[in-house]
Every structure is written in structure tokens, then in C-alpha cells.
Amino acid sequence: MEGLVLRLIDYGESDQITRLFLKEAGVISAIAKGIKRSKRRFPHHLEPFRVYSFKFRKKPTQNLYWIQTADQVAIFTGIMEDIRKIALGNFFSEIILKAVKEGHPQPDLYSFILSLYRSLEQVEEITPLWFYSEIHIMRFLGFLPNFETCLRCKTPILRDEANRFDPSHGGIICPRCQLDAGKVGINIGSEELGILQFLKNSPIQAVSRLRITKNARTVIEPILKAFITYQLEQPIKSLSFLKEVME
């Protein structure tokens, strides 16, 4: 089975327990017995940002898969050479670990993560890809935000108005509906709203052309953080390090 390494834990002197994201089986827990000493069964170490072809065995009474072999089929070297890209890749992994139920296949999300890895290898400015990934990973998980119409009155949003983003419902509230609902959510300006609309509706290939100012980033970053945190019902710890290395 093809898959990615999301998390590794050393176990004893020669074993590793890992959480994997498999194309055909979703997230699973597995153990690589003797990986630190058997170059015949494991010619490559298990590491993030690589694609492997795994062979497993599993007893019916056990939840843990046993990795028999793990052959490396692709490596994203450009990610591993940049601490900012490593931090963003770890952010992808944490969302998957928190949101994808064990043993539930997510082949479309798996393919999307690979497309993020390929893009992350190539880009110099990673902020647009960071925000793009937040929107679209949540889309694959069933939580696509709405930046086009008002959550309440359903009318098209006008960018030059005093709009607000409601993280709990994943959308914009126009100024007229704010009079009834009160000032729910986070202020969002016309520039930031335009960026989010572009990121939501554009293919990944277009993201590298986007430039996001520091001021726009300071508005968008807490909006998407609040949205993801609310929908997943828990904080994403890797965001703090990602923000730190991006300063």
C-alpha cells in the first residue's frame, strides 16, 4: 500500500511505532520491528515527506499493523531543506492526525496532500500555500468556508463593506445582518476577503502567483486559525511554531 509517514516514535532499541496516512486505508498505527538494524527489510529509514510502498501483516485481534517492508518511491527533498517548509508540512500532518478517523480511507485528501508537497517543494513564498492548504484541507474534511454570500440573508458579499467572518459557522456576515446578530466574529477587509475568495476558487497552480502583504497576513491568519480550531474542536499545536519560523 502507498502511504506517508505522519508521526514516528522510537520504541525500544530497534523498533519504531508510526502513524501512517495510506492512500487506500486512511490513517493507521503500525510498528516497524527491527527497522534500525535490518537493511534488508528496511533499506530506507521511515521519515516524513517521503512516499513509501508498504507491505503489512495484521492479526485480527490486534489494532496495530506490522510493517514487513517499506520501499521508498518518492522523496520531497526541497521540503526537508527549509525549516519553514518542514513546519508547514508538520501542520498538514497534525490536521490529518486530529481529523481523519483511523481506518477510514480518504483517497482524495491523500492525493491533495501529495499536491501540496509538490507545490511546497517549488515555491519560495509559502504564505499563500499555507492559507490555501487550510481552506482546502478543511474542504476535503467537509468544512468548506463561505466567502461569497452572507450566512444569514444569503445575498452576495460586497468587499468594500464592513463584513465580519464567523468561525463557528464558517462564513461572512454582512453589515445589515450584524445589526440583528450583533458583532459576531472577526473583522475582514476588502483586500483580505478578495485573497480568501481567490484561494478558495483557484487551482493550486495559481497560488504561487499570489502576493500577500504583511498587513493582510495579520488579518487572514487568525481568521483561518479560529475557523479550523472551532471545526476540529481542538487547537493545532504546530501553528505556533509555523508562525514563529514565518516571522
CATH numbers and ranges of domains, the chain: 1-75 (2.40.50.140), 77-247 (1.20.1440.120)
What pLDDT was estimated at residue 214? Answer: 93
**Distance (Å, whole) CA 237 – CA 95:** 10
Q: Is the pLDDT of residue 34 over 80?
A: no
Question: pTM of the predicted model, to two decimals?
Answer: 0.92
Whether 245 has a pLDDT exceeding 80, the answer reads yes
Q: With a cut of 60, say whether residue 42 has pLDDT above it.
A: yes
Element at 18 (helix H, strand E): strand 15-22
Q: For residues 236, 240, 245 and 247, what is the CA-based torsion angle, rounded to 10 degrees?
A: 120
Q: How does the average pLDDT of the chain come out, rounded? A: 91
2 contact partners, CB below 8 Å, separation of at least 6? 22, 23, 24, 51, 52, 53, 54, 73
Q: What pLDDT, on a 0 to 100 scale, did the predictor assign at position 219? A: 96
Residue 136 has pLDDT above 80, yes or no: yes
For 5-29, what is the mean pLDDT?
Answer: 90
* pLDDT mean over 124-134: 96
pLDDT band at 182 (very low <50, low <70, confident <90, very high): low
What is the reported pLDDT for 69? 87
Q: pLDDT of 75-114, one tens digit each?
A: 999 999 999 999 999 999 999 999 998 889 999 999 999 9
